[in-house]
A and B are shown apart, each in its own frame.
Chain A
């Protein structure tokens, strides 16, 4: 059974600081997704990582994938309040359905 673990689950940080969210998964997969979810809202796709060594950046967020270590990271640079949300990583499981982590609840304080 595919398991996806994120850490930390809760993160409170100050504006302007850098931090990294980690996503480990238990079985081989070469496709990993990062989503953002605001309270009461649906999931917004941030990044799709398709191969080992893939790195993608959008604004203050950068995601990377190491398939050999079964690890993905989401790095936040110089955080701003607007990035406060819950971030999920998801890995492709059987038959293309996604297995999600529990999410990282991120609060960025002024």
Chain B
């Protein structure tokens, strides 16, 4: 079974530039997550999709970050404009399904991440 795919793996940009990351979840996984992991910290949830709808984006800095999951499969995360403090690894994860009725299938599988450096 193929895992979660992400691209690019590395990106270096200057502050105030824009950047976009792509994620392809495991086939059949309805739920997709984007996490931000700053060096030396644990991942922080940015946004969660169930199919193509947003379930939770309470920690997404919406003035500069946006994400979409058209057709309920692939997802893109965009930062515009980037700040120095956005330097981090952006992890995408997927799970078969989430929700109280389906908790047995909750386990999240993580992609390799995109390492972003903002200079």
- Tell me the A residues contacting B by CB distance below 8 Å: 4, 31, 33, 35, 41-45, 48, 88, 90, 92-103
User: How far is it, in angstroms, between the C-alpha of A109 and the C-alpha of B108 when the chains are bound?
Assistant: 31
User: Do residues B112 and A42 form an inter-chain contact, with CB atoms below 8 A?
Assistant: yes
Q: A103 to B107, Cβ gap below 8 A?
A: no
Which label, helix, strand, loop or mixed, suits the secondary structure of the A interface? strand
Tell me whether B61 is interfacial, beta carbon within 8 Å.
Answer: no
**Inter-chain contact total with CB atoms closer than 8 Å:** 58
Q: Nearest residue in A to B48 (C-beta to C-beta)?
A: A97
Given contacts A95-B56, A96-B55, contact A31 B103 (CB under 8 A): yes
For A45, what are the chain B residues with a Cβ–Cβ distance below 8 Å? 107-109
List the interface of chain B (C-beta within 8 A of A): 31, 33, 40-45, 48, 55-56, 58, 91, 95, 98-99, 103, 106-113
A100 near B43 (CB under 8 angstroms)?
Answer: yes
CB-CB under 8 A from B95, the residues of chain A are 96
User: A95-B48, A96-B55 known; A42 and B111 CB under 8 Å?
Assistant: yes
Instruction: Please tell me if the beta carbons of B108 and A98 are within 8 angstroms of each other in the complex.
Output: yes
Contact in complex: A43, B43 (CB < 8 Å): yes
| From B45, B112, B113, residue with most partner A Cβ within 10 Å | B45
Q: In the complex, are the beta carbons of B113 and A96 less than 8 A apart? A: no
Cβ–Cβ contact B106 & A96, under 8 A: yes
Residues of chain A within 8 A of B109, CB atoms compared: 45
